[in-house]
Amino acid sequence: MSSVDTAQVRIGRAQKRALALGVVGFLVAVILGWTASQKAGAVAWQAFVQSYIFAYVFWVAIPLGCLAILMLHHLTGGWWGLPIRRILEAGSRTLLLMGVLFIPILAGLSRLYSWARPEVVKDDVLLQHKLWYLTTRFFTLRAVIYFAIWVILASFLNRWSAEQDRTGDRRFKDRMEALAGPGLVLWGLTVTGAAIDWVMSLDPHWYSTIYGMIFMVIGCLAAMSFSVVVLSRLSDSEPLMDCVQPKRFLDIGNLMLAFVMLWTYMSFSQFLIIWSGNLRSEIPWYQQRVFGKWAPIAVTLLVLHFFVPFLLLLQRGVKRRLHVLSRVAGLLLVLTLVDIYWLLVPSYETLAPQFRLLDIFAVMGIGGVWLAAFLGQLKKLPLLPLHDPRFEGVLEHGHGD
Amino acid sequence: MDPQGSKNIVASPEPEPIIRPGHTFETVTDKISAIVLSRGTTPGWAFGLLIGFSLLMLLNLVVTLLMVKGVGIWGIRVPTAWGFAIVNFVWWIGIGHAGTLISAILLLLHQKWRTSINRFAEAMTIFAVMCAGMFPLLHMGRPWLFFYLMPYPNPMWLWPQFRSPLVWDVFAVSTYFTVSLLFWFVGLIPDLATLRDRAKHPAVKTIYGIFSLGWRGSAVHWSRYEMASLLLAGLATPLVVSVHTVVSLDFASSLIPGWHSTIFPPYFVAGAIYSGFAMVLTLAIPIRSVYHLEDLVTDRHLDIMAKVMLATGIIVAYGYATETFMAFYSGSETERFMMMNRLAGPYAGLYWMLIACNIVIPQLLWIRRVRRSIAFLFVISLVVNVGMWLERFVIVVISLHRDFIPSSWGMYYPTKWDWATYAGTFGLFITMFFLFIRFLPMISIVEVRSLVHETNEEKSHS
């Protein structure tokens, strides 16, 4: 009993710390953003929203991935989902907050996207062709629709899961399973839309059909890694202790490996096709990111986002030990941040990466607030789904021993 | 139900058994080996083989004519220089992918249900790759010079262009065929030994004896067998993805609108698995009813395969959706024209048929009753096979026949020899498949026996 309290207390303490970090991060970011606006020739708040969207895309990827993996778990029903399910659920419940945190981006649209500046569109025939899609009003409407779909999906899954805990009724499992299939389809479409709207349209001339899929994989990998990190922090507390078995982590590690390989496969496919096509409309994107001053980051991604985790995750010894696996997961989370930096920032920092304090504080600000919300959600329910019919045998077995 | 029993049921992830209960090692061996050894040649089988063999002779005729007259007997004309040959190549090779997925990836994922269907799915893979491989060879015009594609030292200083995905194709497909064949054969060895031991006729005994490579079933044999299967599964797994990725790059690395699209690799792989599972269903449904294998290939198998089809079909639909969206989003005139030409051009009928076959009709698989209805499933599997063929036709022909310069546009009409070549490869496939079900155990005796063992173990535990 007391250890349950300890877990809640620990989460509560971490939540306070995260919130403090978030508030400080936000404040410093706002101050830095304001100072940057005062410089001669600077567009007011432009630097701030640029850093903000980079941080935002990273932090929104995690709850979005949580939602997808939660549905994947309901659909396929593997036992690997047992220890991380509550983490995924808590993550998915933060999507409403992410919707609120999207408002600064909407407010700064014209500072971020050249298609939102009439004076640019006036002289750009290509952008005029895209006016049916890239308009401020339609962009906002789409964002509202995306968040509505995500929040509704998350709220149904969470409500049924909580009901299942309370009543132990089998029906809720069937309902979650039934929602998961169509839910994943909706998720795929909306995440593709968000990836195109929020990120790809930063370079409004450039397009790539695989882009949505790349973002789906980024989200899933980030969520998986994040869950493993959280799990390893909480693994010594009741009732998680009972189900921390090496067998289960093998599956989680294999899923991470699959996502790492998928990420590489998709990213490399996109590169190979655009590189061999060498078209004026496409290749500039890679000229900046791979052949220019951004090259060191691209190489870092290749080595640390693919080769190192790939070779590590192939080993059973790594996947069976939670504390080792969580190191790899931590590495992957950091590299996801680097990946998003590499995808987004060259769109406005065209020549070379520039170290900006603002980026760091934006990541800290949104991250702190998001983490605090996540931890607040996490402590609301027991750390394991107690009455899922798929898991009952496992848990009882654990207690019986 | 006693509490103990109900607990066992909830702990089990499987809602119903994979094979029908009541089987022992003996009944499994009897049932599968009898099809080969004691059932004899039935008129139905002979008739099927006759059809297949007749079509195979048609292939013989077409290939002869092709050698004599050249590829001009086909409908390929500039600008559509890739006609039926490439459509059929991609279609056949896609079908093969389900077999590899079932045998390799599902083995690594410990999916037990694969055991009843992997043998004939692998056979399907091998025969489909044989059919597929013929097309690029014949399409070269001078198939007897195909070895120019190999990097070998020669006095002509001839070296393949390694930057071309067409060259990668040679390696991808030949590796795929080799590994699939090896995998299939290694899996067959213990079963061949069973047939050797059960055969009555000395000649039959000798033939199976030769191919079972002296298998005695010792512990060392089994341990090496397990290791070899696992290693081959590991080798075959990347091939599921790599082969169709390379095939997709044949298109995507060019500049033709409708081909040059970054989503091609994952979308081709999903399409390959989609069509492959459709073909497995098309084959499994009649076979299991003719040979009364319903208790080994159960309704549950069909249900799972239908679900895989539904999932991969949705990825394919996603691919079409992004292609269409990007064509209009891109702002590029040629991309937009390509898409309008698909939606409303001279071949638009085929495009809409493709949408109906690949996207609209398979959505019925969401409904459990449809997945559990043999007739529905069989029809949907045929529809998807047609749909996937149309997809390749749309990609190859519609993109080529009208590209950048209107003065070089043209139409593509397949000739009777195009159709005859296609039908001929069906002949090859059907002939091989009929010979396979007659002379080899079409379900893995060994693996189903181990499944029976595990099912009984579970029962005895509860």
B63-76 pLDDT, tens per residue?
999 999 999 999 99
Amino acid letter, residue A318: V
Residues of B in contact with A273 (CB under 8 A): 249, 252-253, 260-262, 264-265
On whether the CB atoms of residues B401 and B409 are closer than 8 A, the answer is: yes
Residues in chain A: 401
Q: For residues A384 and A373, what is the distance between their CA atoms, to the nearest angstrom?
A: 19
Separation between Cα atoms, residue A372 and residue B421, nearest integer Å: 66
- Mean pLDDT to the nearest integer, B167-177: 92
Contact call for residues B90 and B129 (beta carbons, < 8 A): no
Question: Are B260 and A210 inside 8 Å of each other by CB?
Answer: no
Within 8 A of B265 by CB-CB distance, chain A residues are 210, 265-266, 269, 273
Tokens 């009753």 correspond to B369
CA–CA gap between residue B4 and residue A274 (Å, rounded): 60
Q: Write the DSSP assignment of B140-170 as a string of letters.
A: TS-GGGGGGGS----TT-----TTSHHHHHH
Residues of chain A that touch chain B, judged by Cβ-Cβ distance less than 8 Å = 77-79, 126-127, 129-130, 132-133, 181, 185, 188-189, 192, 196, 205, 207-213, 265-266, 269-270, 272-274, 276-277, 279, 281, 389-390, 392-394, 396-397
What is the average pLDDT across B324-338?
92
Whether residue B456 is contained in a domain is answered as no
Proportion of chain B above pLDDT 90, given as a percent: 63
Count CB neighbours of A126 within 10 A. 14
Instruction: Tell me which residue has tokens 């932090």.
Output: A59
Higher-pLDDT residue of B18 and B316 is B316
What is the DSSP secondary structure assignment for residue B396, as one 8-state letter?
I
In a domain, B133, yes or no: yes
Structure token digits, residue A374: 């996540």
Record the tokens describing residue A24, joined without a space.
């400080």
State the smallest CA–CA distance between residue A202 and chain B in angstroms. Answer: 14
Q: Where are the beta strands (DSSP E) in B216-339?
A: none
The parent domain of residue B387 ranges over 25-450
Handedness of CA B399, B401, B402, B404 (dihedral sign): positive
Q: Is residue B3 in some structural domain?
A: no
Is residue B364 in some structural domain?
yes
Judge: B262–A396 Cβ closer than 8 Å, yes or no. no
Which parts of B345-397 fold into alpha helices (H)? 348-355, 368-371, 374-393
pLDDT for residue B124 is more than 50: yes
Residues in chain B with CB shorter than 8 Å from the CB of A266 are: 265-266
The answer to whether the Cβ–Cβ distance between B241 and A265 falls below 8 Å is yes
Q: How far is CA A66 from the centre of its chain?
A: 8
> How many angstroms separate the CA atoms of A183 and B130, rounded?
40
Percent composition of chain B: helix, strand, coil (DSSP 3-state, to 5):
75, 0, 25
Stated as kind and residue range, the H or E segment containing A335 is helix A322-344
Three-state DSSP class for B295? coil
* Beta-carbon contacts of residue B111 (< 8 Å; ≥ 6 apart): none
- Is B459 within a domain? no
Amino acid identity of residue B451, one-letter, is: L
Q: Is B372 exposed, middle or buried (0-12, 13-18, 19+ CB in 10 A)?
A: middle
CA-nearest residue of chain B to A187? B318
Give helix B118-139 / helix B84-100 axis angle, nearest 10°.
160
Nearest CA in chain B to A389: B10
Hey, are the CB atoms on A192 and B322 less than 8 Å from each other?
yes
Rg, chain A, Cα only: 22
**Cβ-defined contact of A396 to B266 (cutoff 8 Å):** no
First-to-last CA distance in chain B? 12
B416/A349: higher pLDDT: B416
Q: What average pLDDT does range B429-445 have in this prediction?
A: 92
* B328 contacts in chain A (CB < 8 Å): 132-133
Task: Quote the distance between the C-alpha of residue B73 and its chain's center.
Answer: 28
A266:B266 CB<8 A: yes
Of B241, B249, B329, Cβ closest to residue A133:
B329
Q: Is there a contact between B326 and A272 if contact means CB atoms under 8 Å apart? A: no
Instruction: Specify the pLDDT at position A401.
Output: 34
Asked if B314 and B274 count as a contact pair (C-beta separation under 8 A), the reply is no
pLDDT of residue B460: 64
Report the chain A residue with the minimal C-alpha distance to residue B318. A189
Is B418 domain-assigned?
A: yes
- When pLDDT is cut at 50, 70 and 90, the band that residue B458 belongs to is low
Cβ neighbours of residue B326 closer than 8 Å, sequence gap 6 or more: A207, A208, A209, B261, B335
* Residues in chain B, overall count: 462
Residues of B with a Cβ under 8 Å from any A Cβ are: 7-8, 10-13, 163, 241, 245, 249, 252-255, 260-266, 314, 318-319, 321-323, 326, 328-332, 366
**How far apart, in whole angstroms, are the C-alpha atoms of residue B377 and residue B216?**
41
**Chain B: closest CA distance from residue A365 (Å):** 34
Residue B7 inside a domain? The answer is no
Alpha-carbon distance B448 to nearest alpha carbon in chain A (angstroms) = 23
ipTM over 0.95: no
CA distance to B13, B260, B301, per residue, from B385 (Å): 32, 25, 19
CA B286 to chain centre: 17
Please name the residues in contact with A177: beta carbons below 8 A apart, sequence gap of 6 or more: A74, A75, A77
Distance CA A246, CA A253 (A): 10
Tell me which DSSP letter residue B224 carries.
H
**Which of A82, A121, A209, A281 best probes binding to B when mutated, by most B CB atoms within 10 angstroms?**
A209
* Structural domain count of chain B: 1
Q: Residue B322 class from Cβ within 10 Å (0-12 exposed, 13-18 middle, 19+ buried)?
A: buried
Give the closest of A78, A205, A269 to B265, CB-based.
A269
Helix, strand, coil share (%) of chain A residues, nearest 5: 80, 0, 20
DSSP A302-334: IIIIIIHHHHHHT-HHHHH-HHHHHHHHHHHHH
Distance CA A394, CA A390 (A): 8
Helix, strand, or coil (residue A381): coil
Contacts of A272 in chain B (CB under 8 A): 249, 253
Enumerate the β-bridge partners of residue B77.
Answer: B80
**CA–CA dist A78, B35 (Å, integer):** 37
The pLDDT value recorded for residue B85 is 94
The pLDDT of B216-228, averaged and rounded, is 91
Question: pLDDT at position A4, please?
Answer: 52
Distance CA B107, CA B122 (A): 13
What DSSP line would sit under B235-264, residue for residue? HHHHHHHHHHHHHHHHHHTS--TTT--TTH
CB contact under 8 A, A273 and B322: no
Task: Report d(CA B275, CA B330) in Å as an integer.
Answer: 30
Please report, as a single letter, which amino acid is at residue A384: L
Angle between helices B374-393 and B299-329 (to 10 degrees): 30
**Does residue B148 lie in a domain region?**
yes
Task: For residue A380, give both structure tokens.
Answer: 């609301």
CB-based contact B280:B305 (threshold 8 Å):
yes
The pLDDT of residue B6 is 36
Q: Is B367 helix (H, G, I), strand (E, B) or coil?
A: coil
DSSP-assigned states of every residue in B42-85: -HHHHHHHHHHHHHHHHHHHHHHHHHHH-GGGSS-BTTB-S-HH
DSSP line for A163-204: HHHHH--HHHHHHHHHHHHHHHHHHHHHHHHHIIIIIGGGST
CB distance B329–A77 less than 8 Å?
no
Distance CA B282, CA B276 (A): 10
* φ, ψ at A355 (rounded to 5°): -70, 120
Return phi, psi of residue B416, to 5°.
Answer: -65, -30
Task: Classify residue A354 as exposed, middle or buried by CB count within 10 Å of its CB (0-12, 13-18, 19+).
Answer: exposed
Q: Determine contact, residues A371/A333, Cβ cutoff 8 Å.
A: no
Interface contact B262-A281, CB threshold 8 A: no
The residues of chain A scoring below 50 in pLDDT are 1-2, 396-401
pLDDT digits 0-9 by tens, B6-64: 333 333 444 567 777 777 888 888 888 888 888 888 899 999 999 999 999 999 999 99
* Six-digit token string for B133: 């491989």
CA angle centred on B3, ends A400 and B5, rounded to 5° = 95
pLDDT digits 0-9 by tens, A40-76? 778 888 999 999 999 999 999 999 999 999 999 998 8
What one-character-per-residue DSSP string does A232-247 give?
HHHTTSTTHHHH--HH
